[in-house]
Structure 1
Amino acid sequence: MTAMPANIANPTEPWRFLVVDDEPDLVEVVCGALRHEGWDAVGAHDGREAVSAAATYQPDAVVLDMMLPDMDGMEVMRRIHTSRPEVRVLFLTARDAVEDRIAGIAAGGDDYVAKPFSLDEVVVRLRSLVRRTARGRTGRVASPDCLVVGDLVLDEAAREVTRGGEPIDLSPKEFSLLWFLMRHPRQVLSKSQILAEVWSYDYGGQAHVVELYISYLRKKIDAGRPAMIHTVRGAGYVIKAAAP
C-alpha cells in the first residue's frame, strides 16, 4: 500500500520538505525560508544523497534542481517515485526553455521555478502543492495556513484555534499574540519583540500589557492541560509542545 505523506496521516505534524541542490548556500537559504513558515526541511546536495534522504526522511514534497553533479533531477524524481509516488516535486531549473519545463512536468513533476528565483514564489508554489496533496489523500483541503505546535493548531485563514481538537475562543489581540508565539516555536521572545510585532508599540513600550495578555492566553490555552506557554525569567516567553 502506498505510504501516505506524514503530514496527512497525522495532521498535527508540520509539512516535510527535502531541498536538493549542489549549491550548499542555496539549500540552506531555501530550508531556512521553509522553516520560517513553520515547516520541516532538510537538504541534500546530489542525487544519491537525495534518494537516500527521501527514503529515511519521507518528505511530503521535494524541491529538486534539474542539474545535479551525479544524475539529473528527472532521474532522482523517478527513483523517489518508485517507492513513494505520492511525493510532490517542484523543479528548480536554470534552463528556462519551454522544452525543458515541459519535459520535467511530463516526467511526473508538479511544478517548476526558474533560477534565479524569489523565495516567496517558492513558498507560494509549495503551499499549492501541499494543498493538492491534502485534497487528493483526504477528500478535503488541509489549510496551508495552519500553525501547529504539539496539539495546538492555529488556522490563520479561518481565524480558528484548537487544542486537542477542542475549539478555543480568542479575542483578536489574543489571536495575534498566539500567532506570533507559534510562528517562533521553542524560541524565547522578549517583551519588546512582542510589543513591536503585536502592538506596534501602540502602548509606548509598556511591558505590563504583554504580561496581561500572556495571562489571558494561559487561562485559555493551558487551563487544565500541560503547560505550553512558559516564562523564561529575565528573557521573555516561549511556546513549545507540552511534555508527554
Structure 2
Amino acid sequence: MEQVKVLLVEDENVLAGVVKETLAMKGFDVTIATNGVEGLQLFQLLQPSICIVDIMMPKKDGITLVTEIRAINDQIPLIFLTAKSEVQDVIKGFQVGADDYMKKPFSIEELIMRMQALLKRVQAKPTAKKSDTQYLLIGDYQFDYPRQTLHHPNGVQRLSQREADILKMLADNLHQITARKDMLMEIWGDDSFFNARNMDVYMTRMRKFLQYDERIQIVNVRGKGYKLIV
C-alpha cells in the first residue's frame, strides 16, 4: 500500500520531530516545513494527502497558508495546531477552511485518529458526474452544479466543491428541511462538533452568495437542519 503523504508545518523543532517520528512508525510519509513560506512551496511540490499546520509561525502564519492552500485544493484535509484557546481562533480557522483543530499539548494518538477519519471521508466522497450539465433555477439564480458556478444578472459566483455540494442538497430539497446530520455525513463524512461549526460558516457564506434575490432564504430550523425557501 502506498504511504499517505503528510505535510507538517510546525516551527517547534522538538514537537515536529516527535510527531514525524510517531507518524512514521504508523506508516505515514511525513515532510516537515518550519514556516509558512516553506509550507506552501512543499505543498505545491509534494501534493500531500493531508496537511497539519501550526497557526503561529514565522514568515507566514498558518491562517494565511491555509487560505492559499484552499485556493489551490478545496478537498485536502487540513488540521490546525495551536497553543491558543480563544473561541475566535477556532472560528477563524474554520472560516479559512480547516477541517479540524487541536490545541497544544495534544495526544498524538488522538491526532492520528482524526487524520484517519478525515482521510476516510475524502476517499469515500463520490466524484460529481460531469454528464449532469443542466442548470438548477433558484429564484433569479441559475446554478450549474457540475461546473460549480452560480449565475445572476449581477455576475457569476465561482463555488468551491463543498459550497456546490451544500447548495445542491438544499436545492434538491427546496422548501423542505434538509437534515443537519444528513448534510454533515454526506459532505464532511461525519457529524463532529468541528464539522458542524464549519458548516455554520459555509451557510453564512451561501446566504451572502444568494443575497441579490430577496425572496431567497436559508432558514435554520433549530434542532433539525436547514430549509431553502424561494
Band the TM-score falls in, shorter-chain normalisation? 0.5 to 0.7
Once the 2 structures are TM-superposed, how far is the Cα of residue 36 of structure 1 from its aligned partner? Answer: 1.1
Q: Which residue of the other structure, out of 118, 133, 140, is the alignment partner of 1:129? A: 118
Q: Distance in 2 between matches of 1:93 and 1:46?
A: 14
Match of 1:33 among 22, 32, 36: 22
CA RMSD of aligned residues (A): 1.5
Partner of 2:3: 14
Q: State the shift of 1:64 in Å.
A: 0.3
TM-score between both structures, scaled by the size of structure 1: 0.50
Letter of the 2:101 counterpart: Y
- The percentage of counterpart residues that share the same residue type is 34
> Paired residue for 1:169?
none
**Counterpart amino acid of 2:47?**
Q
Q: CA deviation at 1:81?
A: 2.0
Q: Which residue of 1 aligns with 2:13?
A: 24
Partner of 1:103: 92
Using the size of structure 2 for normalisation, the TM-score is: 0.53
Q: What is the aligned residue count?
A: 128
Q: CA deviation at 1:134?
A: 0.8
Matches within 5 A, 1:78-227: 78-137=67-126
Is residue 58 from structure 1 mapped to residue 53 from structure 2 by the alignment?
no
Give the distance between the partners of 2:62 and 2:93, measured in 1 at CA: 9
* Secondary structure at 2:125 match in 1: helix
Tell me how far apart the structure 2 counterparts of residues 127 and 138 of structure 1 sit (CA, whole Å).
Answer: 20
Unaligned runs of 5+ in 1: 1-11, 140-244
User: What is the CA-CA distance between 1:136 and the residue it aligns to?
Assistant: 1.6
Report the residue type matching 2:54 in the other structure. D
CA shift at 1:137, angstroms? Answer: 4.7
Give unpaired runs (5+ residues) of structure 2: 129-230
Query: Whole-Å Cα distance in 2 between the matches of residues 62 and 47 of structure 1?
Result: 12
In 1, distance between residues paired with 2:126 and 2:22? 26
In structure 2, what is the Cα distance between the partners aligned to 1:74 and 1:130? 21
Aligned to 1:68: 57
Change (3 A) 1:16 1:138: farther
Q: Which protein shows a greater Rg?
A: 1
Shift of 1:43: 0.4
Counterparts of 1:107 and 1:84 in 2: how far apart (Å)? Answer: 12
SS at match of 2:51: strand
